[in-house]
Structure 1
Amino acid sequence: MARATHIKALALLPAFALAGLTMACGAGGTGSGGTSQPAGGTGATQSEEIPAVAKDPALAAKVPQAIAADGKIIVGQDQSYAPNEFVDAQGKVVGFDVDLGNAVGQKLGLTMEYQNAAFSGILAGLASGQYELAMSSFTVNPERLQTVDMVSYYRAGTSLGVPKGNPEHISLDDLCGKNIAVQQGTVQVDDLAARSQQCTAAGKPAINVQQFQAQTDVNLQVQTRRSQAMLADSPVVDYAIKQTGGAVETVGQPYDAAPYGIALKKGQGTYAEAVQGAVQALIDDGTYAKILAKWGLNPSGTLTKAELNPAS
């Protein structure tokens, strides 16, 4: 994720936050609890269903037999990051990444099986063979490209979210001494570390970076005003604003836009090419645009070309 305490007045929280709290308790990073999503269906609660796409035999042939043999791809995912990947009120795994991942699976003739995990541990699980693909709003950056291959599929920035009305007059230019919530393992953690160093170098107090395992906890921290602000991916903050009826708002514009990437273990022959080809086919046939529209992602992040290991 460009990426990603609790409880006070729970009765005032929207359904998505309550569902996220229940889910977040299980997001301990073990990945032991998997949720299978057939390649032909998303289970999403949004009104629009995404039509199934046809298998592409040429792309399917590029998937290593060791992965294709059981008919499924095991996907590591932190399901606390609405609208990209989350658990809905019916307990189903849904979201932009889920719909797009399922469509990729259809192109490759395989079922995607999503396993919930702590975001900070997913790439390690990919390296160890626990997962065969990771799709969880990972921002493409040079550090990640050293250890995994990545296929780009959307471009998102970072947004600053604050409680409604911005009662503490928070601004991105001066977070020194403030309590800022963020999800563990995200690029926003590094961003805040750099900003905090600038604060102390200028003789100001350091930023109090409050890290949480699940993005749902970050959102709740701001809603309940236990944190003065949060940093998260722009689609995530936009969705939190909608789902909380404006209890959260943004300050300024998104910044440091970079592509999301599907992560794959290096050295697996033509597997990465198969995934890149599948995403490109979905862009070309219009399925990708339908999925973005369904989940309300900003069209400004739309990609026309899925790239393997793009420059961030």
Structure 2
Amino acid sequence: MKHLRAMAAVGAVCAVLAGCGGDGSSADDSDASAAPDASEGLDLDTLRVGNSPVYPPMSFLPEGDEDPANRQGFDVDLATAIADELGVGITFEQQAYEQYLPSLSTGRLDLVHSAMQDLPDRRETVDFVDYYLTGPQLFTTSDRTDLGTLADLCGGSVVLDTGDVGYRDALTAAADEACQGADPIEVVAASGTADALIQLDQGRADATIRGAESVAYLMNEQEPGRYATVDEPLSQIPVGIAVAKDNPELRDAVADALATLVENGTYAEIGERWNLSDLLLDAVTVNGEPVG
């Protein structure tokens, strides 16, 4: 994938955060190091961050470990670096995914930093400080050197989890354009992402689809050399740190901290650590748009 570029850097923002209190329901705590300039005027000591350690390489537990305090991943490292830049501590709190946005509205959480896609309908209640781009990524087994582009799959097949309606729609839209005058792409049903991978490995389909970050982890960490991507992601979707709509001070402070991490190279270092460099932004955006 080609490196993705945002259009502008984040401008100057307010460093005063709205006050938030903890409720003691955290899964784990990690005290951030002091950052005197960033922390000046803050009204909170700890960011309460919604995060589910179930999605490598963004946030997950080491194999065989069930202690949420030991979560690791790109989201965990980046959220901790943002807290460090702000000079505050950080607490990760796991909830049911559908509960995260209501918890922002009620003040139970300050942020949600858990690979949450910045979708237009979600922007009605929260703002997103975007930090990478994802999208449905086609991939196949590494021996299929004949499948380099989406058009190469015309007349072939893609196996998909029946619940991945968004991926199916993205594939259909892209294939309608790529396969004009050629045979269409057949969609093979799978009962889940694990089943889709089994069917791919057994040759029942030519390719399958996962999120770009998940494919990167599969290819670099879980099964190096076994799979290869087919073309670039079918679409580009910003992923963001969610902040309550009525807390623009916190949103802008997080954006400012993230912009500093982009500028000083920390963001790139974290992305490289988790093999996600190709998905990173060159500058921070808010709700998918440049700021400033």
TM over 0.5: yes
Task: Verify the 8 A CA contact 1:196 1:206 in the aligned structure 2.
Answer: no
Equivalent residue of 2:160, what SS?
A: strand
Instruction: Map 1:180-259 to 2 at 5 A.
Output: 180-182=159-161, 188=167, 190-192=169-171, 194=173, 207-208=187-188, 210=190, 212=192, 222=200, 229-242=207-220, 243-259=222-238
Task: Verify the 8 A CA contact 1:137 1:261 in the aligned structure 2.
Answer: yes
In structure 2, runs of 5+ residues without a counterpart are 1-24
What corresponds to 2:285 in structure 1?
Answer: 307
What corresponds to 2:55 in structure 1?
Answer: 81
Q: Distance in 1 between matches of 2:195 and 2:94?
A: 19
1:128 positional shift: 5.6
Q: Distance in 2 between matches of 1:210 and 1:136?
A: 26
Aligned-CA RMSD value: 4.1
State the AA in 2 paired with 1:93. R
1:36 aligns to 2:28 (yes or no)? yes
1:290 aligns to 2:269 (yes or no)? yes
1:289 positional shift: 1.9
Equivalent residues, number: 256
Distance 1:114 1:193, change over 3 A: farther
State the AA in 2 paired with 1:73. R
Instruction: Map 1:109-120 to 2 at 5 A.
Output: 109-115=88-94, 117-118=96-97
Q: Distance in 2 between matches of 1:125 and 1:227?
A: 41
What corresponds to 1:262 in structure 2?
Answer: 241
Distance 1:209 1:277, change over 3 A: farther
1:102 positional shift: 1.0
Q: Distance in 1 between matches of 2:106 and 2:200?
A: 35
State the AA in 2 paired with 1:97. D
Distance 1:128 1:248, change over 3 A: farther
Q: CA-to-partner distance for each residue in 1:231-254, whole Å, 9 max, x for gaps?
A: 223232122012213333222233
Q: Distance in 1 between matches of 2:71 and 2:196?
A: 20
Task: Verify the 8 A CA contact 2:170 2:235 in the aligned structure 1.
Answer: no
Could you tell me the TM-score, scaled by structure 2's length?
0.67
Distance 1:274 1:221, change over 3 A: farther
